[in-house]
C-alpha cells in the first residue's frame, strides 16, 4: 500500500518515551523516578544497565528531531518525565524541566512536526512511590495537579494528549510480578494500582478538557490478539480470561462498562478499593483510543496457574518466527485488535500509537540493513489499511520506535529503532527500515530518497 491510500488526514508518526531516550537523569534539578531507583537493584535489568544516559536525547534533541523532519515524519509522540518538571512529584515545579520540554515542542513546531504528548509513560517520581505510588488513592490528586501543570505549561502549543501509556503493563509488571519498577508483588498491590490508574486515566482526560476544550485527548492500551491453543472448552475459557486481563481490563471501565469480572472473577476483589462514586468516575468519552500491538498470544488451560488458570505458550516453544523479545512475528495481529476494539458500542476513532519489532542489527560499512524490521512494518501498515478498507475508524499509525533505546528490564539488547544508536559513541545511523519509512511518507520508493542518503548518521 502507499501513503496516499490512507487519505490526506491520516496521521503518520514515531513514538519515544522520556526515560528510554532522554538521559540527563540528574541534570537541572530533575528528581529521581522509580526507574532511576529500580535499575540500581542488582539483577533486575539486563547486564545491570541503566537509563542514566540512554540516547542522550536531552542534549541531542535538535539533531534527532531534525532527522525526523528529513525523514518526512510530521507527528512525534513523546512523554513528559513527571519528576523532571516536578522533582518531588508535587509542590514546587522545576522551571529548568519545563523549559526543556518547551524547547522540544518549539523545535518540533519550527520543523512542522506536530507534538503528541504522553503524560505518563511509567516513570513515577520516586518520592510519590515512597508514599505508596499507584497503591495510594492520593495519586488521583497528585496526578491531577501534574496534568494541570503540563496543560498550563505546554497547552498553548500542544493539543494532542495521551493520558496513560499501557496501564496494564505498568500495573501488572510493576505491582504484581515485580519485574518492572517499582518491583512490587502481589494481588493486593496490583488491584489497588489498577483501580487508581483507571480512575486517573479518566480524571486526567477530564482535567485536560476542562482547561483546553479544543484538545484531542486519548489514552493508550497494550493489546495482543488472543487465540486458544486448541478449540476445546477449557482452552477457550482460558483464552477469554487472558483477553479480559490483557485487552479489556482498562478499556471497558473507560467505556462505562465496568471491570470485566464476568470472565475474570478475581477482579471482583477490586471492590474493596472502590468508593461510592467510583464506577461513574472510571468512564470518560475519549476523542481516540491508542492501540499498541506487537504480536498475538496463544493460550492454553493451566490448572495450577493462580487466578487465571491459563498460560501463554511462548513463541520459541511454538517454533514460529520471533523477535528478540521472543514475540511471534504476526503483523495480522494489529488487524484483529482493531477489529475487536471497533466492535464496542460508542468506540471513538482508533490510532495505532505503537507498532514495531526488535531484531538484531549489524553495522556494515557504516550502514544498517534490517530487512526483517522493514518487512514487519510494511506488513503491519498493510493490515491497518485492510482494517480501514473494511470501514474501521483507524486514523493514525506511529512506529515504535524512532531510536534504539533503553527497553526497560531488557536494557539495550532489543533494538526497535528506525535509527541505530551506538550507545558508547551516541552515533546515529539511519537503518534501511527508516529509509523505507521516509520514502513511504514521501509516496516514493526507497531508491528515490537520494537527498536523505547523504546525511544519515551523526
Round to whole Å and give the CA distance between 420 and 244: 36
Structural contact between residues 214 and 159, judged by C-beta atoms closer than 8 angstroms = yes
Residue 166 annotated in active site = yes
Round to whole Å and give the CA distance between 190 and 175: 5
Instruction: Check pLDDT > 70 for residue 453.
Output: no
Tell me what pLDDT residue 213 has.
97
Q: Write the pLDDT tens digit of every residue in 384-426.
A: 999 999 999 999 999 999 999 999 999 999 999 999 999 999 9
Sign of the C-alpha dihedral computed for residues 219, 16, 400 and 12 taken in this order: positive
Tell me what pLDDT residue 60 has.
98
Tell me what pLDDT residue 443 has.
83
pLDDT confidence band for 28 (50 / 70 / 90) = confident
Q: Which alpha helices (H) appear in 343-402, and where do they start and end?
A: 371-389
Would you list the DSSP string of 77-129? Answer: EEE--HHHHSTTSSSS--HHHHHHHHHHHHHHHHTT-EEEEEEESS--BHHHH
What is the rounded average pLDDT of the residues 352-370? 97
Phi/psi zone of residue 369: left (φ > 0), alpha (ψ -120 to 50 degrees), beta? beta
Residues paired with residue 118 on neighbouring β-strands, in sequence order: 79, 162
Q: Write the pLDDT tens digit of every residue in 149-194.
A: 999 999 999 999 999 999 999 999 999 999 999 999 999 999 999 9
Please tell me which residue in 252, 297, 328, 354 is annotated as part of the active site: 354
Instruction: Check pLDDT > 50 for residue 63.
Output: yes
For residue 37, the surrounding DSSP H or E stretch is helix 34-38
Please tell me which residue in 135, 166, 252, 328 is annotated as part of the active site: 166
Tell me what pLDDT residue 454 has.
47
Tell me what pLDDT residue 373 has.
98
What is the rounded average pLDDT of the residues 217-237? 97
Tell me what pLDDT residue 447 has.
53
Tell me what pLDDT residue 33 has.
98
Residue 448 annotated in active site = no
Structural contact between residues 453 and 444, judged by C-beta atoms closer than 8 angstroms = no
How does the average pLDDT of the chain come out, rounded?
Answer: 96
Structural contact between residues 153 and 101, judged by C-beta atoms closer than 8 angstroms = yes
Q: Which of 106, 101, 112 is nearest to 70 (CA)?
A: 112
What domains does the chain contain, in order, with CATH numbers?
Answer: 3-229+287-294+321-453 (3.20.20.80)
Grid cell, residue 401, equals 520506535
Amino acid at each position: 500500500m502507499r501513503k496516499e491510500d490512507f487519505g490526506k488526514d491520516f496521521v503518520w508518526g514515531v513514538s519515544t518515551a522520556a526515560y528510554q531516550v532522554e538521559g540527563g537523569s540528574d541534570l537541572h534539578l530533575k528528581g529521581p523516578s522509580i526507574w532511576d531507583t529500580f535499575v540500581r537493584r542488582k539483577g533486575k535489568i539486563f547486564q545491570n544497565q541503566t537509563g542514566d544516559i540512554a540516547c542522550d536525547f536531552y542534549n541531542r534533541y535538535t539533531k534527532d528531531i531534525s532527522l525526523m523532519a528529513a525523514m518526512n515524519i510530521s507527528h512525534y509522540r513523546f512523554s513528559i518525565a513527571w519528576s523532571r518538571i516536578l522533582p518531588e512529584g508535587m509542590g514546587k515545579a522545576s522551571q529548568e524541566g519545563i523549559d526543556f520540554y518547551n524547547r522540544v515542542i518549539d523545535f518540533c513546531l519550527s520543523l512542522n512536526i506536530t507534538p503528541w504528548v504522553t503524560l505518563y509513560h511509567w516513570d513515577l517520581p520516586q518520592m510519590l512511590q515512597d508514599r505508596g505510588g499507584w497503591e495510594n488513592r492520593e495519586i488521583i490528586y497528585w496526578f491531577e495537579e501534574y496534568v494541570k501543570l503540563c496543560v498550563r505549561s505546554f497547552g498553548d502549543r500542544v493539543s494532542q494528549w495521551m493520558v496513560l501509556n499501557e496501564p496494564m503493563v505498568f500495573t501488572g509488571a510493576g505491582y504484581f510480578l515485580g519485574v518492572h519498577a517499582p518491583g512490587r508483588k502481589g494481588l493486593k498491590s496490583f488491584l489497588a494500582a489498577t483501580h487508581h490508574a483507571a480512575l486517573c486515566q479518566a480524571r486526567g482526560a477530564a482535567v485536560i478538557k476542562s482547561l483546553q476544550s479544543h484538545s484531542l485527548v486519548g489514552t493508550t492500551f497494550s493489546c495482543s490478539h488472543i487465540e486458544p491453543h486448541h478449540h476445546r472448552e477449557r482452552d477457550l475459557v482460558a483464552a477469554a480470561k487472558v483477553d479480559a486481563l490483557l485487552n479489556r481490563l482498562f478499556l471497558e471501565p473507560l467505556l462505562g462498562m465496568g471491570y470485566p469480572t464476568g470472565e475474570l472473577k478475581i477482579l471482583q476483589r477490586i471492590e474493596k478499593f472502590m468508593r461510592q462514586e467510583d464506577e461513574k468516575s472510571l468512564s470518560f468519552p475519549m476523542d481516540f483510543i491508542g492501540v499498541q500491538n506487537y504480536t498475538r498470544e496463544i493460550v492454553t488451560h493451566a490448572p495450577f496457574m493462580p487466578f487465571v488458570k491459563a498460560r501463554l505458550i511462548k513463541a520459541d516453544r511454538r517454533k514460529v518466527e520471533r523477535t528478540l523479545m521472543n514475540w511471534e512475528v504476526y503483523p495480522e495481529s494489529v488487524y484483529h485488535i482493531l477489529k475487536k476494539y471497533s466492535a464496542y458500542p460508542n468506540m471513538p476513532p482508533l490510532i495505532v500509537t505503537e507498532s514495531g519489532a526488535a531484531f538484531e542489527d549489524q553495522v556494515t560499512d557504516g550502514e544498517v540493513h534490517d530487512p526483517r524490521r522493514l518487512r514487519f512494518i510494511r506488513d503491519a501498515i498493510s493490515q491497518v489499511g485492510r482494517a480501514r478498507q473494511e470501514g474501521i475508524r483507524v486514523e493514525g499509525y506511529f512506529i515504535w520506535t524512532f531510536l534504539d533505546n533503553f527497553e526497560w528490564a531488557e536494557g539495550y539488547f532489543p533494538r526497535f529503532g528506525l535509527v541505530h544508536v551506538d550507545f558508547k559513541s551516541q552515533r546515529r545511523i539511519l537503518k534501511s527500515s527508516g529509509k523505507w519509512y521516509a520514502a513511504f511518507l514521501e509516496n516514493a520508493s526507497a531508491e528515490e530518497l537520494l537527498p536523505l542518503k547523504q546525511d544519515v548518521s551523526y
